[in-house]
């Protein structure tokens, strides 16, 4: 008769951040202590097929198998099963996430399985083994997700967003640290570079120039902002950033509150600098 396990843990982080980190299969070797590698074999829509390989066991054996995983963010749920079952007759897994509060998420794993008659362990033995290991792995994931919210972000930690011009990087955001009320980053502009005009329907923007000198056009009205000076950009105000000086310029930005969804955060009012570049989750 098939066996099952049911385990849960509460993680002190927003549900969206927990969802994003724990469903990024490529990063599972960073979240789980038991996995040495995760190789993506196929991705289609909300489904991913992947190969997991464990660290060598006490006998030097490396266990590996292929699984398929389908996510449903609308219900905060995931269904997965082993494609290569190995010693299992079948192995099905359901992940469920529940928002307990703005900074608290319950993550629950339910596994249903049966062992093959030839397996070296029976159903009850595997149930006990899975229960013991799941507790350990859940605790590790909780610790690592919570630590990720306190990480020190470097400019090089995220890819450049050059869609509107310059080298813009959103460093602290819902995606990187699970922020819930705003996001921050920095932009570097070479002499003559411009961040094309746009506005934020939902967010106020706060700019601080660290290096160089920038001309910021607010609804077409230019303002010169030099190093150690700041500028406030209200909601709905069109703004363009230009390095009109003779040297490089660096500015730090912070926007709050967040738009209802990332794609609603910006409205472009002129042709963007690089239309072919991919739009990052958020930008200045």
pLDDT one-digit tens code per residue, 56-99 = 988 888 889 999 999 999 999 999 999 999 999 999 999 999 99
- Shared domain for 143 and 160, answered yes or no, is no
- Shared domain for 113 and 38, answered yes or no, is yes
Domain membership of residue 279 (yes or no) is no
On whether the CB atoms of residues 34 and 160 are closer than 8 A, the answer is no
Q: What percent of the chain has pLDDT over 90?
A: 89
Q: What is the pLDDT of residue 57?
A: 84
pLDDT one-digit tens code per residue, 56-67 = 988 888 889 999
- Shared domain for 127 and 181, answered yes or no, is no
Domain membership of residue 51 (yes or no) is yes
End-of-domain residue from the set 148, 173, 191: 148
Q: Domain of 79: which CATH number?
A: 3.30.530.20
pLDDT averaged over every residue in the chain: 93
Task: Report yes or no on whether pTM surpasses 0.85.
Answer: no
- Shared domain for 140 and 248, answered yes or no, is no
Domain membership of residue 258 (yes or no) is yes
- Shared domain for 7 and 28, answered yes or no, is yes
Q: What is the pLDDT of residue 159?
A: 95
- Shared domain for 139 and 180, answered yes or no, is no
Q: What is the pLDDT of residue 1?
A: 67
Q: Domain of 159: which CATH number?
A: 2.60.120.10
Domain membership of residue 283 (yes or no) is no
pLDDT one-digit tens code per residue, 123-151 = 999 999 999 999 999 999 999 999 999 99
pLDDT band at 3 (very low <50, low <70, confident <90, very high): very high
Domain membership of residue 186 (yes or no) is yes
**For residue 253, what are the domain limits?**
155-268
pLDDT one-digit tens code per residue, 152-188 = 999 999 999 999 999 999 999 999 999 999 999 999 9
What order of strands is seen across the sheet that includes strand 77-82? 3-11, 104-115, 88-101, 77-82, 64-72, 47-54, 35-44
Residue-wise burial string across 4-25, b where 16 or more C-beta atoms lie within 10 A, e elsewhere: ebebebebebbbbbbbbbbbeb
- Shared domain for 137 and 244, answered yes or no, is no
Total domain count, the chain: 2
d(CA 211, CA 137): 45
pLDDT one-digit tens code per residue, 15-42 = 999 999 999 999 999 999 999 999 999 9
Domain membership of residue 277 (yes or no) is no
- Shared domain for 139 and 7, answered yes or no, is yes
Domain membership of residue 40 (yes or no) is yes
- Shared domain for 231 and 173, answered yes or no, is yes
Between 2 and 222, name the one with better pLDDT.
222
- Shared domain for 198 and 226, answered yes or no, is yes
Residues 6+ apart with CB under 8 A from 87: 115, 116, 118, 119, 120, 121
Q: What is the pLDDT of residue 2?
A: 86
- Shared domain for 250 and 181, answered yes or no, is yes
- Shared domain for 55 and 175, answered yes or no, is no
């Amino acid at each position: 008769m098939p066996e099952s396990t049911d385990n849960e843990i509460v993680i002190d982080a927003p549900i969206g951040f927990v969802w994003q980190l724990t469903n990024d299969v490529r990063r599972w070797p960073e979240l789980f202590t038991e996995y040495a590698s995760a190789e993506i074999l196929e991705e289609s829509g909300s489904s991913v097929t992947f190969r997991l390989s464990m660290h060598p066991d006490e006998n030097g054996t490396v266990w590996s198998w292929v699984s398929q995983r389908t996510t449903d963010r609308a219900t905060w749920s995931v269904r997965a099963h082993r494609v290569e079952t190995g010693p299992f007759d079948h192995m099905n897994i359901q992940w469920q996430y529940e928002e307990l509060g703005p900074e608290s998420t319950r993550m629950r794993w339910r596994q249903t399985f049966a062992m093959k008659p030839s397996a070296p362990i029976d159903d009850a033995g595997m149930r006990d083994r899975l229960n013991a290991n799941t507790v350990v792995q859940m605790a590790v994931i909780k610790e690592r997700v919570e630590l990720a919210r306190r990480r020190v972000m470097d400019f090089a930690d995220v890819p450049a967003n050059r869609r509107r011009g310059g080298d813009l990087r959103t460093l602290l955001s819902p995606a990187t640290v699970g922020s819930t009320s705003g996001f921050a980053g920095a932009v570097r502009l070479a002499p003559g570079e411009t961040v094309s005009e746009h506005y934020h329907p939902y967010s106020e923007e706060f700019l601080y120039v660290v290096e160089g000198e920038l001309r910021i056009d607010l609804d077409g009205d230019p303002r010169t902002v030099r190093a150690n000076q700041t500028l406030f950009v209200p909601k709905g105000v069109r703004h363009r950033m230009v390095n009109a000086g003779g040297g490089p310029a660096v500015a730090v930005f912070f926007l709050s509150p967040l738009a209802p969804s990332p794609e609603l955060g910006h409205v472009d009012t002129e042709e963007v600098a690089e239309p072919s570049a991919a739009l990052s989750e958020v930008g200045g």
